[in-house]
Amino acid sequence: MMANPILLQKKYCRIIESFASRQGISLDAALDFFYCSDVYKMMRDGVSDMHCMSDAYLADELGQEYSSRG
């Protein structure tokens, strides 16, 4: 299932803001990381309906990916 592109863009913004706040990094750094992340790729491609997960869950997943690339 594919999400509405406009709604998905808004979700991306919320996730990026939450991720930046949780990691204590700038929005620019969070944005750069997000668009290179596996989380983004799965959301974009509709894998396992990742776009249906809560913003908090996705920000956590992004944080885990960020920590693992450390």
pLDDT at 1: 55
User: Please, what is the average pLDDT of the chain?
Assistant: 93
Note the pTM of the prediction, 2 decimals.
0.91
Q: What angle do CA 21, 12, 36 make, to 5 degrees?
A: 85
Position 44 confidence tier, pLDDT thresholds 50, 70, 90: confident
